[in-house]
Amino acid sequence: MCSAKALLEVSGVGKRFGGLAALSEVSLTVQAGEIYGLIGPNGAGKTTLFNCLTGLYDLSEGQIRLAGEAIQGLKPHAIVQRGFARTFQNIRLFANMTALENVMVGRHPRTRAGILGSVLRTAAERREEAAIREAAHFWLERVGLNAKARSLAGHLPYGAQRRLEIARALATEPRILALDEPVAGMNPSERRDMADLFLRLRHDHQLTLLLIEHDVKLVMGLCDRVAVLDYGRKIAEGSPASVQRDPAVIKAYLGGHAA
């Protein structure tokens, strides 16, 4: 399944907040078509790394390449444009817009209508609007939410909000999708459903997934490779099985749930 093509190359990335080094010398490579897991204790720097990758934080040092192109220093919207989408740990939907509208917003970087087209309602603009709507329904269907298209995002139950956020990110047509704790707070059966969804997405859309997750069982079952962060450093990388046996990892979790 994994072609040997590097899609995302992170080399020597560091991020400091004042005197505090939240990340230092993190390097990793994600192959196209992989499901790559990122684990580590709380405060290990996983979300910080996500924020660096997606342009929300400026790097203090290092390089990030997406399909060979350097993307560090780009604005977040430019990174999305290049095919790198994400979700947030603390779900950030547009709560007062409907589910459908949320996903329609996701089409923004792949569509073009400007002020003039919108005001004149040109034929091209109407076609594009129809296509946006259709695509939004398609992605809602993919995550199993089409029945809720007209509901306000803020009124959806928790699990549906997680799925909606994924649909919205998918609508931007990413090559790689970064998911920040997508199954947090879900029960085991919901978790299994999500894992199935991820596998289907990879299979149907040649999607590469980068996954932050605390649920070690899920990570081990789902991911092709895993990196472990601790105190802002990568302490291990490899297949789930090898990482699980790594003494440094066991020490980091201090006999916690990964051991």
Partner 1 sequence: MISALRARPRLNLALLAILLALLPFIAGELIGQSGVRMLDFALLYVLLALGLNLVVGYAGLLDLGYIAFYALGAYFYAWLASPHFGLHLPFWMILPMGTLFAAAFGLLLGAPTLRLRGDYLAIVTLGFGEIIRIFMNNLNAPVNITNGPQGMDLIDPIQIAGVGFTGTHELFGLTLPATYLYYYLFLALTLVAILVAYRLQDSRIGRAWSALREDEVAATAMGINTRNLKLLAFAMGATFGGLAGGLFAAFQGFISPESFNLMESILILCMIVLGGMGHIPGVIVGAVLLTILPEALRYLGDLQRATLGEVIVDTANLRMLIFGLALVLMMLYRPAGLWPSRQRQRELTAKGEVAIHEQESLADVQR
Residues that bind partner 1 (CB under 8 A): 54, 56-58, 75-78, 80-81, 85-86, 88, 90, 92-97, 101, 104-111, 113-115, 117-119, 121, 125, 128-129, 132, 152, 154, 168-169, 172
CA–CA gap between residue 242 and residue 79 (Å, rounded): 32
Least Cβ distance, residue 25 to partner 1 (angstroms):
22
Least Cβ distance, residue 169 to partner 1 (angstroms):
8
Of residues 46 and 107, the one with the C-beta less far from partner 1: 107
CA–CA gap between residue 194 and residue 130 (Å, rounded): 29
Task: Concatenate the DSSP letters of all residues of 11-49 into one string.
Answer: EEEEEEETTEEEEEEEEEEEETT-EEEEE-STTSSHHHH
Least Cβ distance, residue 216 to partner 1 (angstroms):
27
Of residues 125 and 230, the one with the C-beta less far from partner 1: 125
Q: Where are the beta strands (DSSP E) in 45-165?
A: 61-66, 69-70, 84-86
Least Cβ distance, residue 165 to partner 1 (angstroms):
9
Least Cβ distance, residue 203 to partner 1 (angstroms):
25
One-letter identity of residue 76: P
Where b means 16+ CB within 10 Å and e means fewer, 121-155 reads eeeebeebbeebbebbbebbebbebbebbebbbee
Of residues 161 and 244, the one with the C-beta less far from partner 1: 161
* 55, 233 contact by CB (below 8 A): no
Of residues 43 and 188, the one with the C-beta less far from partner 1: 43
Of residues 95 and 199, the one with the C-beta less far from partner 1: 95
